[in-house]
Amino acid sequence: MKNLVLAVFLVAFTFVSGAQDKMSKAVKTISLEQTAGEFTQKALTVSEGTYVFNVTNTNAAPEVGLVLIEAGKDGADAKNHIADAYVSQMVKHGKTESSKEVTLTKGTYTYFCPFNKTPQYTLVVE
């Protein structure tokens, strides 16, 4: 009987531990809106983790996108872009598109849209 109780306890503990690991690795969302010539979010601060970027085009341009780079790198050079942060397709007027999952580690990043000619904005990961 003791063995059965111990086995049930160990199975329950393993299940709870696994669920907590999955919750701590949950994907979070960063929502960004573009209007003519700018993002409405001028700067962001988030914690380390895995994110999906949702980009909304609010009459910004016929099509917009998202470029994310490490701060200090040349955004004009595509090799510096964090490609998983690109939206899955160009964002048309009134639509929202999402990126792939992007794991952000501590540091400073820059985001902008080359199609809407936005300034470069700061994303800080703490």
pLDDT score, position 24? 55
* Per-residue model confidence as pLDDT tens for the chain (126 residues): 555 444 444 444 444 444 445 555 799 999 999 999 999 999 999 999 999 999 999 999 999 999 999 999 999 999 999 999 999 999 999 999 999 999 999 999 999 999 999 999 999 999
The whole model's pTM is what? 0.80
Strand partners, 43: 122
CB atoms within 10 A of CB 91: 28
Three-class DSSP category at 15: helix
Q: What is the pLDDT of residue 61?
A: 95
Structure tokens of 26? 């949950």
Pairing of strands 102-104, 96-98: unpaired
State residue 25's pLDDT score: 73
